[in-house]
């Protein structure tokens, strides 16, 4: 299930400041993974900084189609972003994978960010 970030002013501000062409939708699962726990937050790690990092990577991977104003990621239509997150209270790093793709959300194009779950 994806979360509509229209109510999240801070994420929308990041999208605008990075001049992304579409709104961003972040899955609930990914959002929970990106939220630092109390220990890590106490060290200064912030949710919005993690989102800003991801959005910067997303923007760097966007390709403007010739003769149109449409933006895509590649011929496959998506990009996988590996991201290392610090976890606590025992500081360790965890590698997660994020899938970014341009999707159609009721006639409106959006950038969809979802977590790729590991297969056991």
- Report how far residue 99's alpha carbon sits from residue 114's, in angstroms, rounded to the nearest whole number: 5
Q: Which two tokens stand for residue 54?
A: 């991801």
Looking at residue 104, its pLDDT comes to 86
Longest dimension (CA), the chain: 52
| Res 45 pLDDT > 70 | yes
Task: Tell me, yes or no, if the pTM score tops 0.85.
Answer: no
Average pLDDT over residues 87-116: 90
Q: Express each pLDDT in 1-19 by its tens digit.
A: 445 444 367 888 899 999 8
DSSP class per residue in 25-70: EEEHHHHHHHS--HHHHHTT--HHHHHHHHHHHHHHT-EEPTTS--
Looking at residue 119, its pLDDT comes to 61
- Report how far residue 12's alpha carbon sits from residue 33's, in angstroms, rounded to the nearest whole number: 19
| Span between the terminal Cα atoms of the chain, in Å | 22
């Amino acid at each position: 299930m994806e979360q509509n970030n229209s109510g999240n002013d801070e994420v929308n501000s990041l999208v605008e400041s990075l001049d992304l062409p579409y709104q961003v939708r972040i899955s609930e699962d990914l959002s929970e993974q990106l939220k630092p726990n109390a220990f890590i937050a106490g060290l200064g790690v912030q949710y919005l900084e993690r989102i800003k990092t991801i959005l910067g990577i997303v923007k760097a991977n966007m390709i403007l189609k010739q003769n149109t104003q449409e933006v895509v990621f590649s011929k496959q239509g998506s990009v996988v972003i590996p991201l290392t997150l610090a976890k606590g209270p025992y500081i360790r790093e965890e590698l997660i994978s994020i899938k970014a793709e341009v999707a159609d959300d009721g006639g409106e194009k959006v950038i969809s960010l979802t977590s790729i779950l590991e297969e056991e």
